[in-house]
Amino acid sequence: MNRRDFLKAGFASAAMVGAGLGTGLYGRPAMASVPVPRTLVNVMLLGGSDLRYAIVPHPSHDPVYIEQFWTAREPLYTENYADYAAMYASEYQTVQDTRTGFEFGIHNSCGWLAQQFTDGNVAIIANVFGSLNRRHDHSQLIVNTGDVLADRLIYSRDGWGGRLVETLGGASNVVSISSDVSIFCQGSNQANRLARVIHAQNTRDIALPNVNPEKSVTHRSNILTRALKGYYEQRGSEVAESKAASWPYHRFFQHNSAFRSFGDAVDQRLATQDLPAPLSNLDLNNNSFEQQCRNIYDCCLVPDILGLSTLSMDYGGWDTHKDQQVRINRNLQDIFGSNGGLDVLYEALAQNIPAASDSLLFNFASDFGRQLAVNGSRGTDHGRGSYSIVIGHAVNGGVFGDMFPLREALPDPADSLGRTPFQITGRDIDGLTAVGRINSALCDWLQPGSGAQVFPDAPSSAVENGLDLSQLLSV
């Protein structure tokens, strides 16, 4: 047993012990009878995240690189540090890729992420690109569809999450647990792009109104409930057959039938399952993400009802043009911090639904990366290349690709002034690996062969020299 397997085994054992305790903190233990299938959780960091802030070189890294890096990025930090080493010591903790021995820093706001990396559950893929432009809307469209050539004006189209569940087949659905249903979720059926989408914005409040037996039969809310319920159910089944696929009102009948088909069942199941106190008391800067973490937990209690295989989450607020550090620290802490959303979620799962934590695989995507150098507003402007982060027990953790390419710190041969990319306004991380390659591997983890269906162009897309993604995930 290697170190990583040992750590994983230890994690699982601890979880099982925790589950057996059934502490008051975690309330009634969850039903263990419903297995949680492998589930991909796609988290969209809206706005273009500067992950170069979360991940920095160790002070012992190449001194040329460190010098350029620090000069270009020092203004991001609100504290006045004497030098890079002082800043690093105060703001970052060192982690090591156990496969290669490579050391780097993860920001202190990402304590849970650092621990997970150390435990071998995190893969960081460097120099990744999704979109080749720097426009939010178009880039989000490209990232959500997985189509680099996506037309920016067309939003009524399929996303790669939607294509994935179609490929998986069966009762598989994309479950959106954020406040929006992003294009990532949409399927290829033009008449009903939401055919395999369940929107679970709040899993504890998911049903449409039913007749309330505690109120009089002639109470107005009961009258309207019966009238509307009767209309939508009866007319819905009629128009499904009689109206053309292009009829614009289909989707509203579909919303009704979707809620009716799973809402009551989810309500019924969850009524007997308390939300663990640490999750229900979770208090993050971002209320939406807080709720999404609760929703994941609940989804793991009702995977059979939802047809769970793919989850869609988002977290906004990464467009950090000015005063980046304050904002990004809050964001990072919410997601990756000790006692942040995922930390509390994983702990709750480990205590109550231990198998679920083995079944989840998180993928973090964003519009684009940001520029190498800080701007004059203590922020960073739009770039392209970035890092991909994949987290889960199925991950063969480590760093994939050149995390801090020395070329960024050397004079650019194309620059007439002989400046380095760190010194040239507008320069960003060189995107060398198409994100579709990574996403394709994630699809294959869910179901072998599905990656080629969802991302047919992935095998021919760009990849960093020498990068081998075949070992990204364990089978």
Instruction: Please say whether the beta carbons of 101 and 95 come within 8 A.
Output: no
If the CB atoms of residues 38 and 378 are measured against other proteins, the closer one turns out to be 378
Give the nearest distance from C-beta 436 to other proteins in angstroms.
21
Span from 60-68, 128-136, 325-333, 455-463 in contact with other proteins (CB under 8 A): 128-136
If the CB atoms of residues 24 and 376 are measured against other proteins, the closer one turns out to be 376
Residues 246-285 that bind other proteins (CB under 8 A): 246, 248-249, 251-253, 255-256, 258-259
Helices (H), 317-426: 324-336, 341-352, 354-359
b/e map of 384-407 (b: 16 or more CB within 10 Å)?
bbbbbbbbbbbbbbbbbbbbbbee
User: Positive or negative CA dihedral for 116, 405, 422, 138?
Assistant: negative
Instruction: Please say whether the beta carbons of 383 and 434 come within 8 A.
Output: no
Task: Choose which of 5, 62, 83, 137 interacts with other proteins (CB under 8 A).
Answer: 137
- Rounded Cα distance between 436 and 337, Å, is 28
CA atoms within a 13 Å half-sphere pointing along the CA-CB vector of 180: 11
Give the nearest distance from C-beta 69 to other proteins in angstroms.
20
Q: Does 377 bind other proteins (CB under 8 A)?
A: yes
If the CB atoms of residues 209 and 448 are measured against other proteins, the closer one turns out to be 209
How far is Cα of residue 89 from the mean position of the Cα atoms in its chain?
Answer: 29
Instruction: Please say whether the beta carbons of 432 and 401 come within 8 A.
Output: yes
Question: C-alpha distances in angstroms, 116 versus 122, 288, 289, 413?
Answer: 6, 23, 20, 39
Residues 167-206 that bind other proteins (CB under 8 A): 179-181, 186, 193-194, 199, 201
- Rounded Cα distance between 31 and 235, Å, is 37
- Type of residue found at 332: L
Task: Choose which of 382, 423, 435, 464 interacts with other proteins (CB under 8 A).
Answer: 382
- Rounded Cα distance between 45 and 48, Å, is 7
Site track 217-236 with other proteins (rule: CB under 8 A), x = hit: xx-xx-xxxxxxxxx-xxx-
Residues 293-332 that bind other proteins (CB under 8 A): 319, 321-322
Q: Does 211 bind other proteins (CB under 8 A)?
A: yes
Task: Choose which of 93, 94, 189, 375 interacts with other proteins (CB under 8 A).
Answer: 375
If the CB atoms of residues 113 and 305 are measured against other proteins, the closer one turns out to be 305
Task: Choose which of 14, 195, 208, 462 interacts with other proteins (CB under 8 A).
Answer: 208
Residues in contact with other proteins by CB under 8 A are 133-138, 152-153, 155-156, 179-181, 186, 193-194, 199, 201, 208-209, 211, 217-218, 220-221, 223-231, 233-235, 237-238, 246, 248-249, 251-253, 255-256, 258-259, 319, 321-322, 375-377, 379, 381-382, 425-426
